[in-house]
A and B are shown apart, each in its own frame.
Chain A
Amino acid sequence: MPLDWQAIWRSLFLYQENEPMLFPTLTFWVWAIVVFGFYGVAMQLHRRRWGLLWLLVFSVFFYYKSAGGFVIIFLGLLVLEYLLVLWMKSSRKPSQLAFWSAIIIPLGFLGYYKYTLFFIQNWNYLTGSRIEAPDIFLPAGISFYTFQMISYVVDVRRNRISPSSFWDYALYIAYFPQLVAGPIVRAEHFLPQLSNPLIDSEQIGRGFWLVLQGLVKKVAFADYIAQYNDLIFANPKGYSGLENLFAIYGYALQIFYDFSGYSDVAIGIGRMMGFDLGVNFAKPYLSTSITEFWRRWHISLSSWLRDYLYIPLGGNRRGVVRTYVNLFLTMLIGGLWHGASWRFVVWGGVHGLALAVHRAIYGKDIPPRSVGRRLMGWFLTFHLVCALWVFFRASDFSKAVAVLSQVSTDTQISHLLPLIERRSLLVGLVLLGYILHTVPMIWVERVEKLFARSPFWVKVTAFIGVIQLILEMRQTYVQPFIYFQF
């Protein structure tokens, strides 16, 4: 069959709205060969600068493939922020104007693109006016790179890091694995690595394992389970309570595998290039308290919120009541960061409330001691998190309430067997997903190491197997990663 070269050209080089360069696409992997090739050659020839510059160029191209013309705004912000930081540090006493400009400008862009519609809708609702909402598209990854830019400015201001060269700074912000959906890397963690990327055989092997693991998580688990969840959340009243309940458990697993899958691939690619991007998830559904959950879930975001929001608000330094208020406010804003909707505000707000209540009862996360209390803590935490995911997933409040009401009024145990019979693959996948979630980290690391040391043909077979799995399991179009929308 003759190849359609025009389609290949478009797929490789041009922005296509419906086909961003996601990790589970052939387009990305073709580019990966080129990127790794040039980077490796440059680094081996001791042309580190060229290697890093190449990564930067590709990262900008990667963003163009994901966000099209918004790359101009991204580049503009990148340069502007760097200049503002230079201005801020140009005198012995940091310029307040430069500092606040460097904070407000990226936040202004984020606010415009993300919250304008939300604001207008609510304004119209409250005042009865009819302001027409402009047609605004959210640029991919804006929430993530805005946070990285702000953390860079604040860290320079706090003298935790000194201003780096423009190229290092630009690569820190734009580095493609983490550019559009995190993890949110800190400058003090990333920038020092640029001077000496760690090319180590075991790290590369384990990175490759993470890449495969992430792809399987995304395509085989998250996307498949998503089909069922989409059905139920589209019309919760049309399904039995048990089916709704299963969709809640399913969505909890879907969002974890979707997002942690993306993080795995990003971290894995980083490791293969010699960069450590940190850890973003640590078996969050095994948490025995809500405080513990937020130390295990989206770690890069929760620690960012702690360091750049909770602590500047006063943290726990201004009395007990203020601590609770700060916790609540931090999560409320964190919820709003996820999306411009009252559902996210409720989601974040209840999480904040739960954190405050937990803090009030146990202080600074004293873990329950007995097995029974630990089990009870796990049960309550897991179900609270699951119930709140309903607000995260449902398209509106009425759907969220419908899901919860179906579960509470129409769940019959007699539906269990037919459900298993009808949806054996789905039930099996969800069960397997949760079982894999409980595998101890030490075992996971052991498997990573084993894989890293396995023969070449084993790895080739594994990679081909994953590609085949992607093709077999994926839907008509690759599902965007959930966190792309944030």
Chain B
Amino acid sequence: MSSGWRAYWSYWLLITVSLVLFVKLSPFLPEKWERIMLPEMEEPAMPSGSQTLITIKIPPPIRREQKSSKKQTTEEIEKDTSTSSERILLIGDSMIEWLCRRLASWCKAQGYQLYTVIWPSSGIMWWGRSDTLRRFIEAHRPTYILISLGSNELLVPGVKTLEPYLERIFEQVGDIPVVWIGPPAWTKDKGLIRMLKERMGPGRYLSSERLIMERASDGAHPIPSEAYRWADTLVSYLRDSALYPLAFSQSPPPQLTTIPHRTYLLKPHAP
């Protein structure tokens, strides 16, 4: 056999061995055959004339929650002294990028203050294992909390593993009225939505998976106009169906969108 053919077969063997080794050694045995993971880089853009992204005040890196830790500082998050009738804290993943602007418009018309915390790529696990939510609650003393998480965990098999993290989130919420905005699923989930519905109960969970929304090029995120419609649905739910209703006008707000009272954009890194 010539050296060329020896090389040919050695590379053939190399590719074969590598793929077999990889599949055998990979801790991510594929469900869809090909594992799919990526730290996505979605970040919200601000409308023209408003603050630009790079000037938004960013909280420091988020620590893992430590029960014994006494240093739960919140100095980087500005303390709030607002006397607004309602202070609504909206937390979520990148799905709320556009939703929050329309919601902000509704809130502004009603005299509410909306605080938004967008943590791209986050999910129940990230929020549950960090003290992020508690720090924002301490800083802004919200009277109402809206949570939009789960989109990044729709395809997680064995959703039971998320339950402890879900409970940790509710520990941080305490007795503040809360509504969970269900993930606007673009694909069939693995039981997460059912778990969330059961845990939240009636009046505290907005089903978003049935909303038909046009998606952006990534196939997952709703395009802005659809996200605005989603926000309108949320407002109707909060006004008419929520366990703890929020007063909202029947007529749409004068502005299509506005920026929330304050927006925090966290780095898309796991705690």
Contact = CB atoms under 8 A, between A and B. Distances in A.
Interface residues of B, number: 49
A463 B5 contact: no
Contact of A40 (B12, B28, B48, B52): B12
B29 interface: yes
Contacts of A240: 52-54
A476 B34 contact: no
B36 A476 contact: yes
B15 interface: yes
- Which DSSP category, helix, strand, loop or mixed, fits chain B's interface? loop
A471 B35 contact: yes
A377 B207 CA distance: 59
A260 B136 CA distance: 46
A335 interface: no
B66 to A, nearest CB: 26
A476 B19 contact: no
Nearest to A12: B33
Given A40-B9, A204-B8, A463-B18, A472 B54 contact: no
A243 B43 CA distance: 13
Size bin of chain A's contact surface: 35 or more
B33 A7 contact: yes
Nearest to A426: B41
A36 B47 CA distance: 53
Contacts of B217: 230
Given A231-B42, A460-B18, A11 B54 contact: no
Given A7-B33, A36-B12, A474 B38 contact: yes
Given A8-B33, A11-B33, A238-B46, A40 B8 contact: yes
Among B28, B48, B55, residue most surrounded by chain A Cβ atoms (within 10 Å): B48
A135 interface: no
A201 B4 contact: yes
A160 to B, nearest CB: 30
A473 interface: yes
Given A239-B52, A240-B54, A32 B38 contact: no
A464 interface: yes
A26 B36 contact: no
A205 B33 CA distance: 29
A464 B47 contact: no
B58 interface: yes
B225 interface: no
Interface string A231-243: 1001101111011
Interface string A295-325: 0000000000000000000000000000000
A239 B53 CA distance: 7
A243 B52 contact: yes
A199 B4 contact: yes
A456 B53 CA distance: 48
Q: Which of A468, A474, A476 has the most CB of B within 10 A?
A: A476
Contacts of A242: 54
Contacts of A228: 41
A126 interface: no
Contacts of A460: 14, 17-18, 21
A33 B40 contact: no
A225 to B, nearest CB: 9
A231 B43 contact: yes
B219 A476 contact: yes
Contacts of A235: 45
Contact of B3 (A30, A201, A419, A464): A201
Contacts of B53: 238-240, 243, 422
Given A231-B45, A418-B55, A468-B22, 8 more contacts: A4-B31, A238-B53, A239-B53, A415-B52, A418-B54, A426-B41, A474-B37, A476-B220
10 contacts: A204-B11, A205-B7, A230-B217, A231-B43, A418-B55, A459-B14, A467-B18, A467-B22, A471-B28, A471-B34
